[in-house]
Amino acid sequence: MLSRRLGPLWLGLGLLAALALPWLVYPPVALDIACWALFAVALDLLLGFTGLLSFGHAAFWGSSAYATGLVAIHTGLPFPLAVLAGAVVAMALAVPIGWLSVRRTGIYFAMVTLAFAQTIYFVVNQWGSVTGGENGLQGVPRELGGVDLSDPFVFYYWALPIVLLGIAAAWRIVRSPFGRVLVAIRDNPARVRALGYPVERYEVLAIVLSAGLAGLAGGLFAVGHGFASLQEVYWTTSGKVVIMTVLGGIGTLWGPILGAILLVLLEDQLATAGFDGINLVTGLVFVLVVLLFRRGILGTVRHLLLRRRDRRVPDPEPGVEPASAPAVEPAR
């Protein structure tokens, strides 16, 4: 298949885009894009590949942001270690939350995760002596053995490998046998159970892995901004990442990245233009996408290309399948 050969090309182009990003946009915005992209990929792992809509992912992103900030402030560890510590905290938090949440499915699962996230929000808000409450956690240092990271442009290149590792991990997870089981659970949990897989345990593990990736992103975000605020654990953050994922196309892994790029850029452009109704515009875009392109941007493109190929079944033209498409179909 040509797509196999095209794969590395797409990957290379993506990497180049990631490297070129801070040249093209304001560097702090580039870092925001990278963090949100990883966050959206983490959510897609759950939403697109396991079929669980978490409406409380801010709990993991935010708890890691705070944990990373606290570790960085109090221990002065290099920032990658602080971020890692934040991700571990997020994963630890995901165990009880996941274990309790997977007892429900569909809308109830979403509501339970939202409730847990709000609990975290209130804990962070009330625990002012540690988290700074309404003031947020200020003055998170960017420490790395004496390297000067004060320029956001430089910091981006130190943060990027962590984001890329996170995305690579997600890519690897969905292609592993474990990932195939997740997809099977999404499509038919009863049959998977009949085949002898402990469905809930797989789901909890998926939530923990997703929380870990969300934690990496949240920790980097906190270090990048030098700041963790209540906004990080607020439910609108959970909503924003769902919008990004759906906008780009769920279950595509690359789609959420596209969604993150588009949404962060859109917000930045509107904010810079001094436009007040940012949420109105993102909301409208979201409604339009849900109404017109259910599969999201990348999902729709892939669907159209696949349909074109299917019509030519007798002579399948190689190369029309986008190389970036994850191996979801074979699992069906």
Partner 1 sequence: MRRGTIAATVLLAVALTACGRGGPSGGGEGGVSGDKLVLAVLNDQSGIYSQLSGKNSVAAVEMAVEDFKAKYGEDAVTSNVEVITADHQNKPDIANTKAQELYDRQDADLILDVPASSAALAVAAQAKAKKKVYFNIGAATTELTGKQCNKYTFHYAYDTYMLANGTGRTVTEKGGKSWYIVYPDYAFGQDMQKSFTSAIESAGGTVVAADPAPFPNDNFSTFLLKAPTLNPKPAVIGVMQAGGDLVNVVKQYNEFKLRDKGIDLSVGLMFITDIHSLGVDAFAGTTFTDAWYWNFDEQNRAWADKFQARTGTRPSFAHAGNYSAATQYLEAVQRAGTDGSDAVVAALEGHKFNDLFARNGEFRAGDHRMVHDAYLARVKTKAEVGEPWDYEEIVETIPASEAFRPESASLAAGCKLDG
- Which residues of the chain form contacts with partner 1 (CB under 8 A)? 5, 8-9, 11-12, 15-16, 19-20, 22-23, 26, 28, 128, 133-136, 138-139, 148, 150-153, 157, 225-227, 229, 231-232, 272, 274, 276
Q: Shortest distance, CB of residue 330 to partner 1, whole angstroms?
A: 24
Q: Which is nearer to partner 1, 108 or 153 (CB)?
A: 153
Q: Where are the beta strands (DSSP E) in 9-139?
A: 137-138
Q: Write down the least CB distance from residue 175 to partner 1, Å.
A: 18
Alpha-helical runs (H) found in 133-197: 152-175, 177-187, 189-194
Q: Provide CB contacts within 8 A for 326, sequence distance 6+.
A: 171, 174, 175, 251, 252, 253, 254
Name the residue nearer to partner 1 (CB basis): 227 or 286: 227
For residues 82 and 226, give the distance between their C-alpha atoms in angstroms, rounded to a whole number.
Answer: 13
CA distances from 56 to 61, 224, 234, 264 (A): 9, 23, 9, 20
Beta carbon nearer to partner 1, 139 or 316: 139
Closer to partner 1 at the Cβ: 151 or 310? 151
For the bound state, the minimum distance from the C-beta of residue 257 to partner 1, rounded and expressed in Å, comes to 18
CB of 60 to partner 1, least distance (A): 18
Q: Report, in Å, the least distance between residue 4 CB and partner 1.
A: 11
Beta bridge partners, 138, equal 227
For partner 1, the closer CB: 22 or 189? 22
Q: Which is nearer to partner 1, 11 or 320 (CB)?
A: 11
DSSP 290-305: HHH-TTHHHHHHHHHH
Q: Are strands 227-228 and 137-138 parallel, antiparallel or unpaired?
A: antiparallel
Q: Which amino acid is at 302?
A: R
> Which residue's CB is nearer to partner 1, number 1 or number 9?
9
Tell me how many degrees the CA angle 123-73-225 measures, rounded to the nearest 5.
Answer: 80
CB 239 to partner 1: min, Å:
16
Any idea what DSSP says for residue 110?
Answer: H
> Are the beta carbons of 41 and 253 closer than 8 angstroms?
yes
> Could you tell me if 254 and 38 are in contact, meaning their C-beta atoms sit under 8 angstroms apart?
no
CB of 26 to partner 1, least distance (A): 6
Shortest Å distance, C-beta 101 to partner 1: 27
Between 119 and 300, CB nearer to partner 1: 119
Contact present, 320 and 309 (Cβ < 8 Å): yes
CA–CA dist 48, 29 (Å, integer): 26
